[in-house]
């Protein structure tokens, strides 16, 4: 601010000496505009730029280079406040004066600025044209290694990032960074921008670790050079928040969103429309952490702001009502949850009418939020509402979700026939929209496999599961957990069909994948060990059965301890296996342990306890008989 005060004093002195209408006065006004622009006071900057422009127009005419600079400076002001239409107007005025100077560096800057305007207005082709024009001028003047050429590479890299041409974007941003590191080193704002852009490209590639590293580098450089108040810091905080959301680190994400929000408050005040986006982002982060009071707080703020901006009849208002309803639902405040969902539905019906897919979504959401009580009647009522819609709407892709929800309702209430019917309808909509090789198609085949298993239709269940498995193999390969899930279910169905050899093959494949990807800490491994034990027992391969049961028992004892019903069950199965191996002492020992665990758990009347006692009696009789036979042989 000291520089601004000095310039003001100079202006007073110059005006007294030379008068208002003098080029030096205009220059001083322009310098004051630059100073206020740098500290973020765009209003004062605009006032001084306009004063400089008016003096220059009066004394030098419309075609002077100083007029170009004034128009360009005014364009930058409006670009900074995101008024791209007016920014474009000023940049175009500057361009009309200087465009005839084909190799002018000032012309290259104007081209760059117009490229940025068109990029932000989503006119990517025009943006690319202007950025390339700027690059060509700079290459002709400087050759290859110059910071202004790096600037052009940077802009082109960001543009290709917008259109998701990740490889080209990465190449341009890397070129920019390499030049900037050679010319400036790491501690320079332009270098920070390139680090940030490369971080964003890594984010787009799904490489969140590298994305985090590059954006943090950019942020640290900016904080070191200009401090936290600069607008680019907000940009870095926002991107780091998104990266941490993708990494499921919602707590860190919420910290970055709060930092960005505080800077936004300081720069724009608390009524800027973009504040609403911060509120919704914070609400989402807290939702993932499970802090539903915070979710309620921030989404409520976002809702009130949105209603002030757009009124009630707006799609974002609908979305915010729905999310608020969900927050209340998770807090157990069901009446408030339903109230917000009904508000969302009412706005939807007013905007879209009854016979609209968005209204179907509203009914679906109400079905989801209602507690599943009273035989699921209330959820069924809302899920079934859209079924009366016109046939062409019933075939809309969104109905896949509604049919699937209805399938789940009937499935959970034990009505497998109706559940199967709705799952099949969901599958038909899915297949009409996508090819069979799709993750949602795979999930529906898997669900149908399970429900047909419950209905005892094992052939149909196996058919569904094999289709799901084929999609998983084509999508994920043969070493993915999704593939293992299908191998396990097909193994179980084969077991129920007494196809033990096939069941054994599928269980072993599922086991192999899970051991490689997760290891023995995976709780499903115990189940697979037990299933393989049971399978080998049925095949009368008792040594193998004993081996698998023992593995399952060891994990259970390490993980849960002995006082578990499941442990007693494994003891009992080991006892039966040892019995058939004529290992009567171990069989007796396992029976005693099974009985003891059940009694400690106050489960004396449990079927496993009764079976253990009966088996123990049989074993004791066998041991006594063997002792009698042995004594007679000795005689």
pLDDT in tens, 236-254: 999 999 999 989 899 999 9
Q: Among residues 89, 120, 140, which one ends one of the domains? A: 89
- How many C-alpha atoms does 242 have within 13 Å on its Cβ side? 16
Could you tell me the residue range of the domain that residue 308 belongs to?
281-352
Cβ burial 152-186 (10 Å sphere, 16+ → b, else e): bbbbbbbbbbeeeeeeebbbbbbbbbebbeeeeee
**Which DSSP category does 520 fall into?**
T
Choosing from 65, 89, 113, the residue where a domain stops is: 89
pLDDT tens for 262-276 read 988 887 777 777 888
Neighbours of 23 (CB within 10 A): 15
- % the chain with pLDDT above 90: 34
Q: Which of 20-34, 297-311, 511-525 has the lowest mean pLDDT?
A: 20-34
Q: What is the rounded CA–CA span in Å between residue 494 and residue 513?
A: 19
pLDDT of residue 268: 76
Give pLDDT, residue 330: 79
Looking at the domain assignment, is residue 338 inside a domain? yes
Q: Does 386 score more than 90 pLDDT?
A: no
Pairwise CA distance, residues 54 & 390, whole Å:
64
Q: Residue 214 falls within a domain, yes or no? A: no
Q: Which two tokens stand for residue 559?
A: 């993980």
Place of tokens 């408050």: 265
Q: What is the mean pLDDT of residues 563-589?
A: 85
Alpha-carbon Rg for the chain, nearest whole angstrom, is 36
Residue 391: pLDDT over 60: no
Q: Is residue 84 part of a domain?
A: yes
Rounded (10°) angle between helices 315-330 and 334-352: 160
The pLDDT assigned to 337 comes to: 80
- Which residues are within 8 A (CB) of 302 and not within 5 positions of it... i.e. 6 or more apart? 276, 279, 280, 283, 320
Question: Can you give 337-366 as a three-state secondary structure string?
Answer: HHHHHHHHHHHHHHHHCCCCHHHHHHHHHH
Across the range 15-40, mean pLDDT stands at 65
- Distance separating alpha carbons of residues 69 and 90, to the nearest angstrom: 10
Average pLDDT of span 386-403: 58
Least confident of 6-20, 492-506, 547-561: 6-20
> pLDDT over 70 for what percent of the chain?
81
Could you tell me the two tokens for 325?
A: 């309803």
Cα distance between the two ends of the chain: 116
pLDDT band at 404 (very low <50, low <70, confident <90, very high): confident
Q: What are the structure tokens assigned to 104, written together? A: 């002018």
Distance (Å, rounded) from C-alpha 565 to C-alpha 599? Answer: 10
Show the DSSP H helices in 39-64 as ranges.
Answer: 42-60
pLDDT at 210: 93
pLDDT at 1: 45
Q: Which two tokens stand for residue 289?
A: 């952490």
User: Can you tell me whether residue 370 is helix, strand or coil?
Assistant: coil
**Contact (Cβ atoms closer than 8 angstroms) between residue 474 and residue 437:** yes
Please tell me whether residue 421 adopts helix, strand or coil conformation.
Answer: helix
List, in sequence order, every beta strand (DSSP E) within 469-517.
none
CB atoms within 10 A of CB 123: 16
Distance, in Å, from the CA atom of 263 to the CA atom of 286, rounded to the nearest integer, reads 20
- Of 272 and 503, which is predicted with more confidence? 503
The DSSP line for 291-337 is -HHHHHHHHHHHHHHHHHHH-SSSHHHHHHHHHHHHHHHHTT-HHHH
Confidence of residue 559 (pLDDT cuts 50, 70, 90): confident
What does DSSP assign to residue 414? T
Banded model confidence at residue 43, pLDDT cuts 50, 70, 90: confident
Domain assignment present for 490: no
pLDDT of residue 9: 44
Check whether 375 has a pLDDT greater than 60: no
As a whole number of angstroms, the distance between CA 234 and CA 236 comes to 5
**What is the pLDDT, as a whole number, of residue 170?**
93
Phi-psi label, residue 269: left if phi above 0, alpha if psi -120 to 50, beta otherwise: left
Instruction: Give the pLDDT band of residue 355 (cuts 50, 70, 90).
Output: low
pLDDT over threshold 70, residue 616: no
Lowest mean pLDDT among 145-149, 183-187, 587-591: 587-591
Q: 71-102 in b/e burial notation, b at 16+ Cβ within 10 A?
A: bbbbbbbbbeeeebeebbebbebbbebbeeee
Give me the CATH number covering residue 42. Answer: 1.25.40.10
Measured CA distances, 4 to 11, 133, 273, 282 (Å): 11, 36, 31, 38
Dihedral angle of Cα 380, 382, 384, 388, to the nearest 10 degrees: 160
225 pLDDT band, cuts 50/70/90, is confident
The residue ranking higher by pLDDT, 15 or 590, is: 590
pLDDT attached to residue 364: 61
- Supply the pLDDT for residue 11: 47
For the chain, give percent helix, strand, coil, nearest 5: 80, 0, 20
Name residues whose C-beta falls within 8 Å of residue 574's C-beta, 6 or more positions apart in sequence. Answer: 546, 549, 550, 553, 586, 590
pLDDT for res 509: 94
Among residues 37, 71, 89, which one ends one of the domains? 89
Task: Examine the pLDDT at 524 and tell me if it is beyond 60.
Answer: yes
pLDDT, residue 635, reads: 38
Residue 128 lies in a domain: no
Cβ atoms of 507 and 488 within 8 Å: the answer is yes
| Rounded-to-integer distance, Cα 403 and Cα 367, Å | 12
Please give the C-alpha separations between residue 97 and each of 100, 101, 447, in angstroms, as whole numbers: 8, 9, 68
CA distances from 114 to 85, 119, 155 (A): 11, 8, 11
Query: Half-sphere exposure of 84 toward its Cβ, with a 13 Å CA cutoff?
Result: 12
For residues 429-453, average pLDDT: 88
Instruction: Round to whole Å and give the CA distance between 95 and 56.
Output: 17
Q: Of 14 and 47, which is predicted with more confidence?
A: 47
Residue 376 included in any domain = no
User: How far apart are alpha carbons 405 and 484 in whole angstroms?
Assistant: 25
In a domain, 315, yes or no: yes
pLDDT bucket at 55, cuts 50 / 70 / 90: confident
Give every CB contact of residue 527 below 8 A, 6+ residues apart in sequence: none
Kindly give, in sequence order, each residue whose CB lies less than 8 Å from that of residue 308, ignoring residues fewer than 6 positions away. none
> How does residue 107 score in pLDDT terms, banded at 50, 70 and 90?
very high
Structurally, the chain folds into a number of domains equal to: 2
Q: Is 416 a member of any domain?
A: no
Averaged pLDDT, 325-340:
82
Q: How far from 516 is each of 238, 482, 511, 521, 601, CA to CA, in Å? A: 37, 13, 9, 11, 36
Two tokens at 77?
């002001």
Q: How confident is the model at residue 184 (pLDDT cuts 50, 70, 90)?
A: very high
pLDDT at 633: 44
Alpha carbon of residue 132 to chain centroid: 34
Close Cβ partners of 86 (under 8 Å, ≥ 6 residues apart): 78
Q: The tokens of 28 are what?
A: 């001083």
pLDDT score recorded for residue 450: 93
pLDDT-derived band at 6, boundaries 50, 70, 90: very low
Helices 105-120/65-80 angle, 10° precision? 20
Which of 244-253, 380-389, 520-529 is predicted with the least confidence, judged by mean pLDDT?
Answer: 380-389
Across 77-86, 190-199, 317-326, least confident range: 317-326
The SS3 assignment for 618 reads helix
DSSP state of 603: -
């Amino acid at each position: 601010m000291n520089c601004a005060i000095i310039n003001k004093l100079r202006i007073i002195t110059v005006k007294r000496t030379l008068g208002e209408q003098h080029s030096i006065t205009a220059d001083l006004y322009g310098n004051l505009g630059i100073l206020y622009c740098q500290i973020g006071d765009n209003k004062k900057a605009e006032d001084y730029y306009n004063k400089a422009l008016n003096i220059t127009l009066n004394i030098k005419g419309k075609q002077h280079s100083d007029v170009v600079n004034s128009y360009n400076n005014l364009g930058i002001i409006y670009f900074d406040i995101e008024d791209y239409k007016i920014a474009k107007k000023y940049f175009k005025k500057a361009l009309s004066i200087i465009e005839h100077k084909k190799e002018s560096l000032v012309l290259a800057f104007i081209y760059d600025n117009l490229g940025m305007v068109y990029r932000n207005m989503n006119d990517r082709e025009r943006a690319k044209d202007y950025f390339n024009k700027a690059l060509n001028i700079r290459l002709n003047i400087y050759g290859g290694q110059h910071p202004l050429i790096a600037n052009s590479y940077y802009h082109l890299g960001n543009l290709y990032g917008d259109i998701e041409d990740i490889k080209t974007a990465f190449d341009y941003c890397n070129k920019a960074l390499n030049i900037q590191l050679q010319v400036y080193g790491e501690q320079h704002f332009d270098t920070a921008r390139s680090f940030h852009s490369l971080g964003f490209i890594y984010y787009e590639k799904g490489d969140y670790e590298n994305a985090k590293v590059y954006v943090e580098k950019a942020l640290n450089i900016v904080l070191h050079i200009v401090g936290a108040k600069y607008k680019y810091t907000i940009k870095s905080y926002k991107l780091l928040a998104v990266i941490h959301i993708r990494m499921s680190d919602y707590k860190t994400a919420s910290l970055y969103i709060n930092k960005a929000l505080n800077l936004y408050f300081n720069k724009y005040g608390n009524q800027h429309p973009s504040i609403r986006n911060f509120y919704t982002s914070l609400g989402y982060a807290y939702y993932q952490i499970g802090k539903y009071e915070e979710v309620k707080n921030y989404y409520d703020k976002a809702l009130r702001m949105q209603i002030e901006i757009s009124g009630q009849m707006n799609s974002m208002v609908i979305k915010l009502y729905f999310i608020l309803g969900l927050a209340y639902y998770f807090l157990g405040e069901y009446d408030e949850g339903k109230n917000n969902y009904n508000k969302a539905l009412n706005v939807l019906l007013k905007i879209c009418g009854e016979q609209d897919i968005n209204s179907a979504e509203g009914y679906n959401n109400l079905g989801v939020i209602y507690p599943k009580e009273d035989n699921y009647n209330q959820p069924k009522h809302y899920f079934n509402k859209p079924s009366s819609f016109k046939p062409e709407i019933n075939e809309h892709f969104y109905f896949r979700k509604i049919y699937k929800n209805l399938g789940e309702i009937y499935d959970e209430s034990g009505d497998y026939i109706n559940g199967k019917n709705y799952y099949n309808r969901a599958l038909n909509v899915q297949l009409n929209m996508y090819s069979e090789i799709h993750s949602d198609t795979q999930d529906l085949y898997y669900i149908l496999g399970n429900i047909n298993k419950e209905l005892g239709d094992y052939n149909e269940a196996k058919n569904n599961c094999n289709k799901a498995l084929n999609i998983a193999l084509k999508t994920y390969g043969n070493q993915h957990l999704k593939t293992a899930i299908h191998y396990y279910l097909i193994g179980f169905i084969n077991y129920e069909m007494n196809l033990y050899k096939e069941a054994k093959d599928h269980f072993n494949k599922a086991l192999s994948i899970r051991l490689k990807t997760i290891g023995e800490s995976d709780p499903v491994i115990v189940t697979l060990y037990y299933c393989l034990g049971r399978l080998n027992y049925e095949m009368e391969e008792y040594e193998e059965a004993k081996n698998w049961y023992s593995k399952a028992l060891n994990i259970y004892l390490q993980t849960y301890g002995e006082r578990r019903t499941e442990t007693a069950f494994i003891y009992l199965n080991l006892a039966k296996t040892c019995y058939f191996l004529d290992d009567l002492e171990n069989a007796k020992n396992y029976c005693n342990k099974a009985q003891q665990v059940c009694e400690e758990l106050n489960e004396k009347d449990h079927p496993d306890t009764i079976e253990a006692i009966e088996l123990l009696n049989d074993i004791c009789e066998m041991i006594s008989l063997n002792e009698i036979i042995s004594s007679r042989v000795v005689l």
